[in-house]
């Protein structure tokens, strides 16, 4: 199949072979080596603190990173950030630039979660770590200079799927009341039966074969069966009423495109205020190319949307 990528994504398309999820440990090592020597992120204007917070019963300490605009005395809204990586790779550090941008330009306290990864820690380990971080954020908001009444959850890729799951858990468990959910290119459906999932089998870095591996690592033999909880695959939830307002993004040549759009439509049908944007000319991992035109547009929209949701 011929893909009509934006011009500034074509050259970079060949650089994502490292995202083979067949051996997650090897992939993590390659990504860590590739990041060695890169300059530390510019934290000007943002106070950054690494903490370990109470987690679920089987993981008493969850690493988190807090980003807070410096010199701001009033309580700010808060954003719980969940990184991507197909449930099996990724670290807090990969979202430094995103979290710093949100802290600076949205004027928000950001809490980024280092949740446990599959296959060593399959479902529900990762999502329970994220939910524990949400509870902690709401409980200690005052100490962080944050407003517990204005908390959003934000995630990219698998992090978007985990963000959707955290919103469902908060609703069902009577947990912290979220003000907003920002689901960016979310990975939501282990059944992988959409048109985009069937069509995009060879897109750069993230494609249908990697999606299958991702869900297998996360859910084991249950992936694709009838025995999958909605907190593992939020697309399976039939009742989306009572969830916070949402913003959902997708990319044209992304296997996860159709499940993201379908989730947005189902939120809308359930009476949840939702906006969605499908960016054309881009593949899933385009978000890792910050200089690309589509990435700059997404970053600007993220700031605009979160400002409106948390400050207006």
259-303 pLDDT, tens digit per residue, is 999 999 999 999 999 999 999 999 999 999 999 999 999 999 999
Mean pLDDT of 119-128: 98
Q: Rounded to the nearest 5 degrees, what angle is found at the Cα of 172, between the Cα atoms of 276 and 265?
A: 20
Kindly state the average pLDDT of the residues 126-134.
98
Of the candidates 129, 184, 254, 258, the residue annotated as catalytic is: 254
Which residue carries 């920002």 as its tokens? 182
Check residue 62 and give its pLDDT.
Answer: 98
Catalytic site residue 284? Answer: yes
Which is nearest to 128 in space by CA: 93, 82, 78?
A: 82
Query: What would the two tokens of residue 261 be?
Result: 């759009």
Nearest in space to 118 (alpha carbons), one of 25, 226, 230, 19? 25
Write down the mean pLDDT value for the chain.
96
Active site residue 157: yes
Sheet of strand 76-82: strand arrangement: 46-54, 61-69, 109-113, 76-82, 146-156, 180-184, 246-253, 274-283
Angle between helices 158-172 and 125-139 (to 10 degrees): 60
The catalytic position among 112, 147, 284, 295 is: 284
Whole-number pLDDT of residue 15 = 80
Assess whether pLDDT exceeds 80 at residue 18: no
Question: Does residue 37 have a pLDDT over 90?
Answer: no
Q: Exactly one of 95, 101, 154, 157 is catalytic; which is it?
A: 157
Look at the pTM and tell me if it is higher than 0.85. Answer: yes
């Amino acid at each position: 199949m011929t893909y009509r990528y934006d011009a500034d994504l074509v050259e970079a398309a060949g650089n994502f072979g490292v995202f083979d999820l067949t051996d997650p440990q090897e992939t993590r090592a390659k990504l860590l080596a590739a990041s060695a020597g890169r300059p530390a992120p510019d934290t000007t204007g943002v106070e950054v603190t690494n903490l370990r917070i109470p987690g679920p019963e089987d993981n008493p300490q969850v690493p988190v990173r807090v980003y807070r605009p410096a010199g701001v005395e009033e309580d700010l809204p808060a954003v719980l950030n969940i990184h991507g990586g197909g449930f099996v790779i990724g670290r807090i550090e990969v979202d430094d630039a995103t979290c710093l941008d949100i802290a600076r330009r949205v004027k928000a306290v950001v809490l980024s979660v280092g949740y446990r990864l599959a296959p060593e820690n399959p479902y529900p380990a990762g999502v329970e770590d994220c939910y524990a971080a949400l509870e902690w954020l709401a409980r200690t908001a005052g100490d962080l200079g944050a407003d517990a009444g204005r908390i959003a959850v934000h995630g990219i890729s698998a992090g978007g799927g985990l963000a959707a799951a955290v919103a469902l858990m908060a609703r069902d468990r009577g947990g912290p009341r979220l003000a907003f959910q920002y689901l960016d290119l979310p990975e939501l459906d282990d059944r992988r039966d959409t048109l985009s999932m069937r069509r995009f089998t060879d897109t750069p870095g993230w494609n249908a074969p990697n999606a299958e591996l991702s869900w297998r690592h996360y859910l084991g033999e249950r992936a694709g069966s009838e025995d999958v909880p909605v907190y593992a695959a939020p697309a399976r939830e039939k009742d989306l009423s009572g969830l916070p307002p949402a913003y959902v993004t997708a990319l044209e040549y992304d296997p996860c495109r159709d499940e993201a759009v379908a989730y947005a439509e189902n939120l809308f049908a359930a009476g949840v205020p939702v906006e969605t944007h499908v960016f054309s000319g881009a593949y899933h991992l385009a978000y890792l190319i910050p200089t690309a035109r589509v990435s700059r547009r997404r970053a600007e929209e993220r700031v605009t949307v979160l400002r409106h949701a948390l400050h207006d």
